[in-house]
């Protein structure tokens, strides 16, 4: 999986060119949630992984969608707000010097 953040930090920030293979900048350890999980549970886990969106899988682990903070804010505005504050905190995992 490759995200805009991967491109910005691992690609552009890493001095890579557009000819760089996707595998060189993509996220390898993809975090995900299941379609039958409670929104609150997913929102609680997003800050732990410093992510703003997650692939949503069915029980056979087939991709069925993507859940973003803005999707969650429609039904759970307070939970999404708390999660976004925690996700937005700098982490060593995404630091250019880490």
Regarding whether 39 and 25 lie in a shared domain, the answer is no
Closest by Cα among 29, 35, 70, 75 to 52: 70
The answer to whether residue 40 sits within a structural domain is yes
- Note down the domain range covering 50: 31-90
Contacts from 60-66 at CB under 8 Å and sequence distance 24+?
64/35, 65/35
CB-CB contact of 33 with 56 (8 Å): yes
Regarding whether 19 and 57 lie in a shared domain, the answer is no
pLDDT at position 98 is 47
- List, for residues 55-72, the tens digit of each pLDDT value: 999 999 999 999 887 777
Regarding whether 8 and 36 lie in a shared domain, the answer is no
The pTM is what?
A: 0.63
pLDDT at position 16 is 93
The answer to whether residue 97 sits within a structural domain is no
pLDDT at position 39 is 87
Q: Which residues of the chain have pLDDT under 70?
A: 73-98
């Amino acid at each position: 999986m490759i995200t805009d953040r991967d491109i910005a930090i691992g690609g552009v920030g890493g001095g890579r060119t557009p000819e760089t293979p996707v595998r060189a900048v993509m996220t390898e350890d993809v975090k995900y949630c299941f379609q039958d999980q409670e929104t609150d549970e997913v929102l609680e886990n997003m800050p732990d992984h410093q992510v703003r969106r997650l692939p949503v899988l069915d029980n056979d682990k087939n991709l069925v969608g993507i859940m973003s903070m803005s999707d969650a804010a429609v039904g759970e505005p307070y939970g999404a707000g708390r999660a976004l504050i925690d996700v937005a905190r700098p982490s060593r995992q995404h630091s250019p010097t880490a």
